[in-house]
Structure 1
Amino acid sequence: MITREATEQDLEILLEFEQGIVSAERPFNTTLIDGEIHYYDLNHFIQSPDAILIVAEENNEIIGSGYALIKKAEKYYYKFEKYAYLGFMYTKPEYRGKGLNKVITDELISWAKSRNISEVRLDVYAENESAVKAYEKAGFEPHLLTMRLKP
């Protein structure tokens, strides 16, 4: 398996991955609209100097993805000025449970460190136990829980 930066030629499969993420998240969020949803500006992640979108390949098949995006922190809140936000973490179902998410996460964290970023964050549904465990294995800790009420 290899990892590399995504290119525009990868967009077709990456758009399929995006819908896979949406499908996986629907059980955790009943407020999502029906039909196709596009969470991500994949072209931006490919082209921006403040972002990286990587893919994992095996036998010339793209099997996983993830991005890191450098964001500005609210200066009056935090001790750091910028942080890396991770997202678009997807592994094809037949490759899950083999550590691919950690490989991608580690590479994204290394990219952030190479840009002197010392804070890395991501969002995950609290009920998504397998994802939470995967991120905890990668060294992440729970930080903030968003709660909602549907009156």
Structure 2
Amino acid sequence: MMAEIEIEEAKKEDFDEIVRFQMGLADYHKRIDPEYFKSGREREEQIKKWLRKFFLKKRNNRKILIAKANGKAVGFFMGSIHKAHPYCKEEKIGEISVAFIDEKFRRRGIGKMLFEEMIKWFKKREIKLVEVIVASKNNIGISAWEKYGFREIKKTMKLNL
């Protein structure tokens, strides 16, 4: 039987689960590009500090959505609204900065549910452009975002010094 999935705004009591997911995401990125990324364990304190800031800052331009299956956290999305570059067509843009679904719950439409709820939040705030940054070697993420209608418009390049 399929678990009942609920999407809700994350609360302070969800913090530890979100840290766990974020650390899992860091581990995944380290596996696909160990030259660039560190593991969740290596960055646990920085991850907690970053997430605390996101939780505590003014909430009207930030949103953390969490998916729960029968009350257990199984994934989350983080989104924010910020000013666009001066030469961008839109003045404000939405950004989905983090998306993660527990491996045991993937391919069940949970990511789509979180995505649709985040898009509703952006639309309520009259956002017309949403961006997502995805690692170049994250083929799973790239194909998921393309499935939702995203297309590549710029590249981030790096130079090791």
TM-score by length of 2: 0.84
How big is the alpha-carbon RMSD for the aligned residues of Structure 1 and Structure 2? 1.9
Q: Compared with structure 1, are the counterparts of its residues 117 and 29 closer, same or farther at alpha carbon in structure 2 (3 Å cutoff)?
A: farther
Q: Which runs of structure 2 are paired with 1:2-151 in the superposition (5 Å)? A: 2-26=6-30, 27-33=32-38, 35-37=42-44, 38-39=46-47, 41-47=50-56, 48-75=59-86, 77-150=87-160
Q: Compared with structure 1, are the counterparts of its residues 137 and 96 closer, same or farther at alpha carbon in structure 2 (3 Å cutoff)?
A: same
Unaligned runs of 5+ in 2: none
Of all paired residues, the percent bearing the same amino acid is: 25
Q: CA deviation at 1:111?
A: 0.5
Q: Is the 8 A contact 2:26 2:38 kept in 1?
A: no
One-letter code aligned to 1:42: L
Q: How many residues are aligned here?
A: 150
Q: Is the 8 A contact 1:72 1:82 kept in 2?
A: yes
**Which one has a larger percent helix, Structure 1 or Structure 2?**
2
